[in-house]
Amino acid sequence: MTTVPSHARPPRRRIWPWIVGGVLLVLALFAGLFAWDGWRILASADELEAHAAGAQQAVSERDADALASEVTALQASADEFASHTTGVHWTIAGWIPWVKDQTVPLQQAGASVAVVSTDALGPLADLDDLSALEVPPIEQGRIDPYFLEPYREVLASSAQTLHGETAELAEVSLGSTIGAVREPFLTLESQLATLTDLVQGAHVAAEVLPSMLGAEGPRSYIVMVQNNAEPRSSGGIPGAVLELTVDDGRMSLGRYISAASMRDPENPVAALTEDEVRVFTERMVWYPQDVNFTPEYPRAAEIMAAFWERETGESPEAVISIDPVALQQMLSGMEPVDIDGVEITDDNLADVMLNKVYFAFDEPAEQDAFFSRASLTLFGQLFTGSTSVVAGTESAIEQGRFLVWSATDAEQDLLETTDIAGDFIARSEDLGVFLSDGSGSKIGYYIDTELSVVDHLCESDGSLNRQALTYRLTHTYDEAIDDLPWYVGGGDVYVPSGEFHANVRIVPPVGMGVTHFTRDGQADSLNGEQLHTRDIATARVVLLPGETTTLEFEVAARNRGLVNESIAQTPGPKLNVYSRAVDTERDDC
């Protein structure tokens, strides 16, 4: 065997400096690339966020010219942003723990904005105008069932794109993402969610309007007018129910029936679930005035349809809900009308129907008859096309004052993807605050409510950790109780006259629960229940004239990564006072 002299062997130890040096060189190169990309990202991120916000505002304001301008700028910003979130170094970074928590959100944000600007907003910007995103107008007493047909394909495609990119963003984990990346990402998510809701609503309208407006044959509906002076979860008791026929876009009103005349405690019209009976009792199927104890409007509508069918022998093809506040918004600019000697204008409509009628007529039968006749007359005014129905309807939908349920499964499936369905129970990420009267009177007209919500987020990932709710109720009646009509004051039938008794129900998002409750600063107890998939915490409230009570709830998350999309509450006799804020100090979750 030949022996190699030691001086001829390779100096192995000298290889390591080259390896270490090579690694350091590669790291330095990567660091340089990321530094360059980071500098360019910072430069383009502000533009990206600004143009995304501008595009959202343009869509919200139906400004086609502004949208076209913002889309062009957004596409350029998205291309610039995306060009600095790609490359071998970004791919490798996506394999490294913690580092990928910073790079993946940036990459997905850039990709999603690029897709949305090109495939969703671009086609919308190419339209002549954005009337496709508005409530169809009434012209000469008719809504064209095919008003949205020219936009149908664009709306469907844009909605699909927005849903897809919203889902892609939702899949991104922000568990260890730093605030500088997380905050803009969450802002983008919120902007896309708003855009998606707007476009989805228009897409659904384009799909269902032809059939629901009777283009394929007459449709028979009923309209329940909710009286907010006696609160129920979705607004107030249905005081009157109107028959509405729609034929090729033309609407005509037929019979009207007071809800009180359809009640029959001896013969319930439907079977309730065990949860519904436990939470609401069986009154929902005994009394039409109580169908909307539940915050689940499709369920309330189904039961009201059963009452109507029992009364008339005819099954309605849809149930529409509206209240006097919505009617006043939709009838802005109408000429005054006289109903039974009472003048109703676009300034006093809600006040008359919710309160003044009870001072004008002594007997409950007369009051109910006036409410029904006024509802019939005023609802008929909507068909003239002479008032601001479009703007008023949009406001009413946003406030939960205009709701629609269809007995046709295909139509209802589409409606349930929008706010107009009022399907709160199915919206698992929403928080609900609902008020349900127990006074048996119309004293609720004098109750002012104010809701404020403060979100407390986790420092680590920006998800929702807890929410602090403050719900303040004030009894504003300040005159003699004896001056109240007994129908308003209650007449000592169920509760002492003039007192307001009600249940306040808090329904947290799924995965959260009420952990603390105080009443006027003192710890108090709640009644806990469950309605299907949702937890409910109920507080009983009793207010005398002039009194105020402040209820404070803390709602805490049981799991990480939760969000609260929006907050639903009972629409009152006046516009709800509501505020929402985020605590700037993050929780250590």
pLDDT band at 38 (very low <50, low <70, confident <90, very high): low
CA distance 245 to 135: 19
CA distance 401 to 227: 11
Quick one: tokens of 256? 């009207």
Q: What is the pLDDT of residue 319?
A: 98
Residue type, 79: D
Residues 321, 302, single domain; the answer is yes
Q: For the chain, give the mean pLDDT.
A: 88
Last residue of a domain, one of 342, 373, 406: 406
Last residue of a domain, one of 162, 196, 212: 212
Closest CA to 323 of 441, 421, 227: 227
Q: Judge contact between 66 and 54, C-beta under 8 A.
A: yes
Residue 259 lies in a domain: yes
Residues 247, 324, single domain; the answer is yes
Average pLDDT over residues 225-239: 95
- Cα 553 to Cα 444, 454, 508, 516, 518: the distances in Å are 22, 11, 11, 6, 7
Q: Judge contact between 452 and 470, C-beta under 8 A.
A: yes
CA distance 568 to 431: 6
- The 10s digit of each residue's pLDDT in 107-132 is 898 889 889 999 999 999 998 888 88
Residue 420 lies in a domain: no
Residue 1 lies in a domain: no
CA distance 98 to 252: 63
Q: What is the pLDDT of residue 79?
A: 84
CA distance 201 to 414: 9
Residue 558 lies in a domain: yes
CA distance 357 to 226: 15
Q: What is the pLDDT of residue 99?
A: 78
Quick one: tokens of 363? 């007997």
Question: What domain count does the chain have?
Answer: 3
Residues 246, 129, single domain; the answer is no
Average pLDDT over residues 71-87: 82
Sign of CA dihedral 356, 357, 360, 365: negative
- The 10s digit of each residue's pLDDT in 329-357 is 999 889 999 999 999 999 999 999 999 99
- Structural domain containing residue 81: 17-212
- Indicate the range of 176-185, 476-485, 574-583 predicted with least confidence: 176-185
More confident residue, 84 or 423: 423
pLDDT-above-90 percentage for the chain: 63
Q: Judge contact between 231 and 437, C-beta under 8 A.
A: yes
Backbone angles phi, psi at 76, to 5 degrees: -65, -45
Last residue of a domain, one of 164, 186, 212: 212
- Cα 329 to Cα 222, 324, 389: the distances in Å are 21, 9, 8
Residues 208, 223, single domain; the answer is no
Residues 198, 240, single domain; the answer is no
Sign of CA dihedral 577, 432, 545, 359: positive
Average pLDDT over residues 484-508: 96
- CATH number of the structural domain spanning residue 443: 2.60.40.1170
Q: Judge contact between 130 and 209, C-beta under 8 A.
A: no
- The 10s digit of each residue's pLDDT in 360-380 is 998 888 888 888 888 888 888
Average pLDDT over residues 450-462: 89
Residues 264, 339, single domain; the answer is yes
Residue 186 lies in a domain: yes
pLDDT band at 3 (very low <50, low <70, confident <90, very high): low
The string of DSSP letters for 232-259 reads ETTEEEEEEEEEEEEETTEEEEEEEEEG
Quick one: tokens of 88? 């071998």
Q: Judge contact between 354 and 228, C-beta under 8 A.
A: yes
Residue 423 lies in a domain: no
| Highest-scoring range by mean pLDDT, 18-32, 274-288, 380-394 | 274-288
Residues 308, 208, single domain; the answer is no
Q: Judge contact between 335 and 390, C-beta under 8 A.
A: no
CA distance 568 to 399: 9
Residues 376, 313, single domain; the answer is yes
Residues 298, 382, single domain; the answer is yes
Give the pTM: 0.90
- CATH number of the structural domain spanning residue 230: 3.40.630
Residue 7 lies in a domain: no
**Which residues, 6+ apart, have CB-to-CB distance to 106 below 8 Å?**
41, 85, 181
Q: What is the pLDDT of residue 387?
A: 64
Residues 176, 274, single domain; the answer is no
Residues 176, 267, single domain; the answer is no
Residues 227, 182, single domain; the answer is no
pLDDT band at 182 (very low <50, low <70, confident <90, very high): confident
CA distance 565 to 190: 9
CA distance 272 to 264: 16
- Integer distance in angstroms from the first to the last C-alpha of the chain? 69
CB atoms under 10 Å from CB of 571, counted, come to: 24
Residue 587 lies in a domain: no
Q: Judge contact between 376 and 253, C-beta under 8 A.
A: yes
Q: Does the structure show a pLDDT above 90 at 586?
A: no
